[in-house]
Each structure stands twice: as C-alpha cells, then as structure tokens.
Chain A
C-alpha cells in the first residue's frame, strides 16, 4: 500500500502537496488536542500556583481578613528577624547536609560490595530497599516507639554501653539527629540501587584493563569506577538534596505532642511554612517563606551541578 501512494504522488504533485498540507493541519490539531488536558492540569496544579506563590509573598494575605494589602518586601524583611524562621533554616540545612552526605557515603561502598550479580546480591538489594518502599508515616510511628524515652529499645540498647537514657524526640536538639538517623535509614536503599545500576553499567573490560596495569582495588575504584559514576552521583545528590529540603512528614509524626500540639516540635522549613500558612493563616508570609525554600533548593542544585561539572574538566 505504501507503494501505491508513492505512485500517486508521482502522478500528481499538486494533489499530494495539497493533501499533505491538510494532513499537516490535522496533525497539528491532534497535537494540541492531545496535549490540552495535560497542559490544563499542569498549569492549574503547578504553573499558576508557582506564579501566585511569588505574587502572594508581596502581600499581607490572611485567609480570614478581607483586606489584603500589597506590602512589597515586608514579608521578606520580617523573615530575616523571625527567630522561628532562622531556626527552621538552620535545622533544615543541618538535616539536608547530614542526610545527603552520610547517605551517599554509606550507599556508595555498599553498592561497590554488591556490584557482582547473584542471588546474595539480589537478597541484600531487596532488604535494603524495604524501607524505601514502605510508606513514611507508619515507619515514623514505629521509630517513635523505638526512640521512646522510657521504654524504647534504642535507649535499652545504649544502656549496655553505660549511656544514660537519651530524650530522643522531646529535646529539639537531639530530635534533629533522631530524625536524621531515621531518614538515612529510610532513603539509603534508593541511593544504593541507583549506584548499583551505575556500577553495573561500567564495562567489565575497563576494570580488567586497570587490574592488568596493576591497579589496586582502591585505585580501580578511585580512577575508573568513580569518574564513570559522575552522572549518577550528580543525580543522587540532586534528588537527595531536593527531597531533604522538603522534610516534613517524619517531623510532624515524630516530634509533635499528643493532639498535634507543636510545643516541642522540631522546627524545619516546611513545618514553619505549614504553621504560618495553615495554623496562623498568614498565607502571604508563608509564601515568602516558601520562596526561601524554592531558592534554597534551586541554589543547592546549581552548586552541585557546578561542582560535578567542574571536576569533569
């Protein structure tokens, strides 16, 4: 049938051109019609809210007050002297850097150990991936029980080493580290799998050639595996950083008091945004804070791109 239309085309160039034009118009209409529902959703759920978030941050916008005046940079200036915001920023930065760095440093060697295929590696892979696949809330509830001051197994375990009971979740300074440990536990398997795929994609011959040249396992890792893992490493760093700045669920479930009282809550950025926006209903102020979160995420992502790229040259 393809042959038929080819002969037709030769017979009447004008007719084909006209039909091609019509066809092109049909195709174009198809493209936009097919995209329309997706784009409508995309704009309504993401693009418009992002733009509104920027706009809102310049207003004193309280959900219950009818008057919502434009106040320029006032929200941003207020943020700088807001002790809660500064604390949230500090905690979030410490949390992000600690989880991303430790999780990467743990996942990379584990992935190297597991590089060889086989059922043992497959079993380990499954086990390490279990926390990743399980929903965060029940795991946070389980960890809350582990961290329990009076009856928690962690304090029991530490008592063997003569360490007195630690108030894991009630002291905000300690709670930060309790949340960090739990989050590393939860996300380690994800990074591990990504590294594993990257390592397995490295052609065997590269590593063999290096060993023939007398490279030690350490040298092979440092000079062959690691440079070839750069793209994956960048991806892991970027996604892990973005996710870490958004930390909220663990904090909400594990450090809020009974009846969700925020008295002893660990203050992180999203928690503060949530509190300002939805508990205090100061949505303009909350949006200014949300902008700070966005800039932080974008900034860190760019820095990581730069770092990994500059090392490649």
Chain B
C-alpha cells in the first residue's frame, strides 16, 4: 500500500510555517531572557562592547542592591494588596449586576445595561482629569482607596457574568427555589453564585492582571513612595538610576516574576478566559 504524499508545494509551505513560528517564538522570549541574564551580571560585564551573552561571574548583587536602594518589598505588597481588593470587588459587583441584568426585568434595565457597556469604549485616559478633581475634593489623592477606586468594577465583568447567568443557569432552577419560598438574596448566593465558578475565574484573572499592571492612575495620584505599586515604583527607580542596567533588570525581573508564575500555573485557564473575553466581548 502506498502512502499518500502531500504535494511538494504544501510540504514546503508547512516547513516555512514552522520556520516562521519558531523564529517568532524566539523573538518573543529573547527580550525576557536578556533581561534575566543581565540581572545576574556584575557591572563591568553589562556596559561592554561587544555584549557578553552569559554572565562570566554571576552575581546576586543587583537583587540585593535593588532592595537596598528602593522599598521594592513595599511596592510588591502594595501591588498584591490592591490587585486582590480589585479582584474581589470586581467579582462581587459583576455577580450582583450580572445576575440582576440576566434574570430580572425592571424599569430602566436596558438603558442601564447599555450605558455600562457603551461607556466602556471611552478611554479612561480621557476622563482621568475630572476624576482626579473629584477625588481631590474628597481628599482621596495620595490614598490607597483613591488608587484602587477605578479598578473596583469592570463593564466587561458585568457583561460576562450576565451572559453566563442567562445562558448557563436555567430559569427553572430560580423559579423552583422561589416557589419553595427562597428569597432573592438566597437565590443569588446559594444558586447563582455557586454555579458561576467558570465565569468567576475568567473575570477574576482578568481583573487581577489589569489591576497589577495599572500605571497611569497610580502614577497620578500616589505621591508618597510608600503608596507606589510595582509599576510606578519601578518607573521611579528607573528615572533615578537610568544607567544602572543591572539593578534595573533585577527590578524588572522581580516585578515580572509573580505574573509569570501565575501564568505558568494557570496557563490553560488564563488563555481560555482571554479567549472567552474575545468571543463574548
């Protein structure tokens, strides 16, 4: 029996595709590897021409140096804390609004939901000035609550939760519970919430990544170094030590690592939830 052979053209195309994919993959990881490698080099091996690829005398001095010159520990705790608060709040607000918009009819329902979705297209950067003035009048500039405030809810989270509740949770369940005398709150916490694990994880992952990477708003309203998140802290550090690339790369590695670990652990979930946002957005 002779095996069917694909025509030469198609095989060449496949080979070419693999070559391109491979080359692209190298370009994707190279900047990160370069960052990692540089962070282990002593200063004389960094500012040299031609560049030295691997550290000849690997050192951790850059890492200890970073913590000595800037409170990176504090930045880290700030980032983690504020991202966590944002994630919990987004999960809660998405559940409340998503469930109500999915399962109930009430006046203004369409208008309110439409407003929440439509305004998501307006860039945050275009209304950050009035928001700053608002927070200035209530004295929330340079406070934790002021920094996290804009990250506490997400249009997209509400949208995703509404989609999930209206398609995955049968109205019969809700009706049955109601006939049994359950209150609406009981239905929300005991029926809708437990059946929404997949939506919660997608929303949570998204909210956490976004909150962790928040930059322009914390940059505007955090004046004290003790309130900086990783992103703003690293930027400030860069402007102070703009030529000390060893320490800069060490700082960058430190602020990248948590996201990288989370990603490698939850790789499938994260990619799926991003894909989900794409399909349903």
Contact A193 B27 (CB under 8 A): no
Kindly list chain A residues whose C-beta atoms are within 8 Å of the C-beta of B150.
45
Contact B129 A283 (CB under 8 A): yes
B17 sits at the interface (CB 8 A): yes
A39 sits at the interface (CB 8 A): yes
Contact A273 B125 (CB under 8 A): yes
- Are A130 and B278 CB-contacts (below 8 A) given A137-B230, A142-B249? no
A177 sits at the interface (CB 8 A): no
Q: How far is the CA of A278 from the CA of B216 in the complex (A)?
A: 12
Closest to B213 in A: A135
Tell me which residues from 2 to 30 in chain A have a Cβ below 8 Å from any Cβ of chain B.
2, 5, 26-28, 30
Tell me which residues from 140 to 178 in chain A have a Cβ below 8 Å from any Cβ of chain B.
141-146, 148, 150-151, 153, 156
Q: How far is the CA of A125 from the CA of B274 in the complex (A)?
A: 12
A134 sits at the interface (CB 8 A): yes
Kindly list chain B residues whose C-beta atoms are within 8 Å of the C-beta of A212.
none
Tell me which residues from 206 to 261 in chain A have a Cβ below 8 Å from any Cβ of chain B.
217, 232, 235-236, 239, 242, 245-246, 248-249, 252-253, 256-260
Contact A297 B123 (CB under 8 A): yes
Kindly list chain A residues whose C-beta atoms are within 8 Å of the C-beta of B126.
50, 53, 273, 290-291, 293-294, 297
Select one of B17, B239, B243 contacting A113, CB under 8 A. Answer: B17
A79 sits at the interface (CB 8 A): no
Select one of A30, A38, A236, A253 contacting B93, CB under 8 A. Answer: A38
B65 sits at the interface (CB 8 A): no
**Nearest CB in chain B: distance from A209 CB, A:** 19
Kindly list chain A residues whose C-beta atoms are within 8 Å of the C-beta of B216.
248-249, 270, 274
Select one of B34, B112, B235, B259 contacting A252, CB under 8 A. Answer: B235
Interface residue count for A (Cβ, 8 Å)? 100
- Interface of B, secondary structure class, is helix
Kindly list chain B residues whose C-beta atoms are within 8 Å of the C-beta of A298.
121-122
B116 sits at the interface (CB 8 A): yes
Interface residue count for B (Cβ, 8 Å)? 96
- Are A142 and B252 CB-contacts (below 8 A) given A42-B153, A197-B275? yes
A32 sits at the interface (CB 8 A): yes
Kindly list chain B residues whose C-beta atoms are within 8 Å of the C-beta of A193.
271, 274-275, 278
Chain B residues in contact with chain A, CB under 8 A?
10, 13, 17-18, 20-21, 24-25, 27-29, 31-32, 34-35, 38, 46-51, 93, 96-97, 99-100, 104, 106, 112, 115-116, 119, 121-134, 136, 149-150, 152-153, 158, 176, 179-180, 183-185, 188, 209, 212-213, 215-216, 219-220, 230-232, 234-235, 238-240, 242-243, 245, 248-249, 251-253, 255-256, 259-260, 263, 267, 270-271, 274-275, 278-279, 281
CB pairs A–B below 8 angstroms (13 shown): A1-B180, A56-B130, A127-B29, A135-B212, A137-B215, A139-B256, A141-B35, A146-B31, A150-B49, A151-B47, A197-B275, A252-B219, A260-B239
Nearest 8 CB-CB pairings of A with B: A138-B252, A52-B130, A194-B278, A49-B127, A290-B126, A30-B184, A142-B35, A49-B130
Chain A residues in contact with chain B, CB under 8 A?
1-2, 5, 26-28, 30-32, 34-35, 37-39, 41-42, 44-50, 52-53, 56, 63, 106, 109-110, 113-114, 124-139, 141-146, 148, 150-151, 153, 156, 185, 188-190, 193-194, 196-198, 217, 232, 235-236, 239, 242, 245-246, 248-249, 252-253, 256-260, 270, 273-274, 277-278, 283, 286-287, 290-291, 293-294, 297-298, 301
